[in-house]
Amino acid sequence: MWEYTNQVMEHFERPRNVGVVARIDGEGQVGSLSCGDALRLTIQVDKDKDLIEDAKFQTFGCASAIASSSALTEMIKGRTLEQALSITNQDIADYLGGLPREKMHCSVLGQEALEAAVANYRGEKPKALEGQIICECFGVTDVEIERVVKTNRLTTVEEITQFTKAGGGCGKCVEKIEALLNKILKKTATPGNGQKPGGRLTTLKRIKLIEDAIANQIAPALMRDGGDIELVDVDGPTVYVTLKGTCASCPSSKRTLADFVTERLRALVDSDIVVRERRPE
Amino acid sequence: MRTIYFDNNATTAVDPQVLEAMLPFFQGLYGNPSSMHHKGGEVAAALRQARQQLADLLGCEPGEIIYTSCGTESDNTAMWSALRTQPDKKHLITSRVEHSAIINNAAFLRRLGYQVTEVGVDRDGLLNLSQLEKALTPDTALVSLLWANNETGVLFPVEDVARLCSEKGIVFHTDAVQAVGKIPINLKASKIDMLSLAGHKLHAPKGIGALYVRKGLKFAPFMIGGHQEGGRRGGTENTPYIVGLGVAARLAGERLPEENTRVKALRDRLEAGLLKIPYAMVNGHRTIRLPNTTNISFEYIEGESILFHLSHAGICASSGSACTSGSLEPSHVLRAMGVPFTAAHGSIRLSLGVTNTDDEVDEALKIFPEVVAKLRELSPFWKDDGPVQESELLSCEDNNCQICN
Ligand SMILES: Cc1ncc(COP(=O)(O)O)c(C=O)c1O
């Protein structure tokens, strides 16, 4: 059973603004019957004030898709187009007191329907349809993925699937998503100054990177040879670790182990890292 | 609010007689059945009786039963035993509509270098027997097939396949977790080598299962440990649950006729009533099927939404829609059958049991049309009393969605 908030259940049981507006000035349709959720949003616009006078929706989908659509219409009614467009999928989720991670794509659906409706009103092409298709099963483009990654600070392919459905079908595009994610993350980590990753890291980010590097790259490599490593502490440039496993008692192999760890951490995180060993207590 | 429980394929309520039989084994009768004193002896006697009760339900010998912790453990034990006792054979056959306990093992075995054939089904969910026959090779170690499908209730001809396998010296296992207690089973008269069952589908508690292993079949234990279960499954016996499963087996035997008459009639009446709702259709063969299960698709609406509204009105059911499974695609069973995505997303499984009544069916037949109408009113694919014309539909191309192509 999903853990839905009371607000989600409220909007699901008593959806607001169901139907089609009296005069359709803009219309956005996203999703499809075969994808498992689809939303049609229509808006009526006060042309002088550039203001959304009325908004109505029709949704095929799960409880959170219906609740997200209902919430969206409440959020945009009476707003100017500019104000409405500044709403992110996270805002929709927040309005409902949060959504389960696996259901975040419902909030993205809402945001995209809104964009499509406004674009339709303005006679433009909706942004989400720009770019290249990455996931063919669910028709998700690189532009969509990049935006969702940035607004929601996503860091894994799994999260991208939860937010956009991309990669959740046949799974063939998972590698493409991973490559795209790495590209996006690199861009966000080094804002255009071409520095090594970690050049201007905050302490928190730096620790996170060190943790990641040890857990995902260094430890698995050591484990293959029967060893292991544990992160003990980080103090400025100094990283304290405990080396374990079959080689731990042998001083000469420890030397090479420490060299290996230093080399990897310098490459992955920061070039001025110093590795010190702490004995297990 | 009154609960109408139509989800007996997910799990069943523990029968009061089962619970009553179990309770003494938590207190006075706490002995270890292996112990050489009277506290052990009295429990060992109760286990013997329970084993006999289960053997009677299956038409086998008590010594052919191994207790396990659940249906999943029984499935795992069977698969791995067949492979480990025939280390030279590297091929196994199963179907595309198995329970995840089998499917995920098959996927894992494939990564280990085994060759796995997944036999398909037709639009009614019936097994493609000729595909299976062609797949049998001298390298085939195991054929494992569901007896009754948990989502649709459709039955596979496991006794025929077992005979075929036996002629070729291939081990045959069936996951009968949904079949036991709902259809007659007589293992003595069959060529089935191994059969899995789970207590919680027949009014025993969760956390107890059993595996039938035909006498004389080579066997390798999954849980290696003590001498319990004749050395075939280590670990001190779960005595209260084994006793509970014994009583549940006796009751299932007694209730088998009711399951196939009264319960079946309830299911049929419910199904017929639901089919009066426009754009509703049954998934799965209408007669080669368990007596208690129906799987119905309501087109143009989505399963999770249906379930929540039903639950709000007291009805418990399941769905094969993507949203309920936590995955993004609808049930692998419905997809293997070629049920269109449009119908798969709106599929609802209703599984009845001996506790259900005529009143409950009447009540459900009032609630369902309201729920479906409410959701269709919201649906962009529905207008007045029919689907919107194709041209107005949000088509896949609009969104580059190619999932159905
Ligand atoms: C066909 C089938 N096999 C196996 C299982 C697994 O049983 P358990 O949950 O007891 O491990 C189930 C239960 O859902 C089932 O329906």
DSSP string, B234-298: -S---HHHHHHHHHHHHHHHHHHHHIIIIIHHHHHHHHHHHTTSTTEEE-S-SSSB-SSEEEEEE
Q: Write the pLDDT tens digit of every residue in B381-391.
A: 998 888 887 64
Every domain of chain A and the residues it spans:
6-121, 128-188, 191-281
* Same fold across A128-188 and A191-281: no
Query: What average pLDDT does this structure show over B344-369?
Result: 97
Pocket of ligand 1 (CB under 6 A): B 70-72, 75, 99, 101, 146, 150, 175, 177-178, 198, 200, 209
Amino acid, res. A74 = E
Whether residue B286 sits in one domain with residue B159: no
pLDDT at residue A203 in the model: 81
* pTM of the predicted structure, to 2 decimals: 0.81
**B392 shares contact with chain A (CB less than 8 Å):** no
Contact B396 A34 (CB under 8 A): yes
Query: Residue holding tokens 């499809």?
Result: A32
Query: Residue holding tokens 């919201």?
Result: B378
Our CA dihedral for B129, B340, B110, A162, rounded to 10 degrees, sits at -160
Whether residue B299 sits in one domain with residue B152: no
Q: Write the pLDDT tens digit of every residue in B330-350.
A: 889 999 999 988 889 999 999
Contact B305 A15 (CB under 8 A): no
How many domains would you assign to chain B? 2
Contacts of A139 in chain B (CB under 8 A): 396, 399-402
Whether residue B362 sits in one domain with residue B214: no
The CATH number that domain A128-188 falls under is 1.10.10.1100
Whether residue B307 sits in one domain with residue B207: no
CB nearest B380 (choices: A9, A35, A40):
A40
Nearest CA to ligand 1 atom 14: B10
- Residue B136, domain member (yes or no): yes
Whether residue B312 sits in one domain with residue B196: no
Whether residue B215 sits in one domain with residue B96: yes
Q: Write the pLDDT tens digit of every residue in B130-177.
A: 999 999 999 999 999 999 999 999 999 999 999 999 999 999 999 999
Do the interacting molecules here have an ipTM over 0.90?
Answer: no
| Index of the ligand 1 atom closest to the CA of residue B10 | 14
Please check the confidence at residue B309 and state whether its pLDDT lies above 70.
yes
Query: Which structural domain range is residue B189 located in?
Result: 16-252
Q: Give which of B150, B175, B149, B145 is closest to B161, Cα–Cα.
A: B145
Whether residue B348 sits in one domain with residue B205: no
Read off the tokens for B249: 């087996």
Read off the tokens for B142: 């195991």
CB nearest A30 (choices: B328, B399, B403):
B399
Residue B31's pLDDT band, with cuts at 50, 70 and 90, is: very high
Nearest CA to ligand 1 atom 9: B71
Whether residue B184 sits in one domain with residue B213: yes
Residues found in chain B: 405
- Residue B192, domain member (yes or no): yes
Assign residue B47 the CATH number of its domain: 3.40.640.10
Whether residue B335 sits in one domain with residue B194: no
B233, B252, B271: which is the final residue of a domain? B252
Read off the tokens for A166: 């991309």
The alpha-helical segments, DSSP class H, found in A136-242 are 142-152, 157-164, 174-189, 203-213, 219-224
Q: Which fold has domain A191-281?
A: GMP Synthetase; Chain A, domain 3 (3.30.300)
B222, B252, B282: which is the final residue of a domain? B252
Whether residue B232 sits in one domain with residue B265: no
Of the two residues A243 and B396, the one the predictor is more confident about is: A243
Whether residue B171 sits in one domain with residue B110: yes
Distance B309 CA to ligand 1 centre (A): 26
Enumerate residue ranges in chain A where pLDDT < 70: 127-129, 188-200, 224-226, 245-256, 280-281
Please check the confidence at residue B307 and state whether its pLDDT lies above 50.
yes
A239-243, A258-262, B212-216, B392-396: the lowest-pLDDT one: B392-396
Query: What average pLDDT does this structure show over B205-214?
Result: 98
Whether residue B91 sits in one domain with residue B26: yes
- Residue B313, domain member (yes or no): yes
B252, B273, B291: which is the final residue of a domain? B252
> What is the DSSP pairing of strand B209-213 with strand B65-68?
antiparallel
How buried is A35 (Cβ within 10 angstroms: 0-12 exposed, 13-18 middle, 19+ buried)? buried
Q: Which fold has domain A6-121?
A: Sufe protein. Chain: A (3.90.1010)
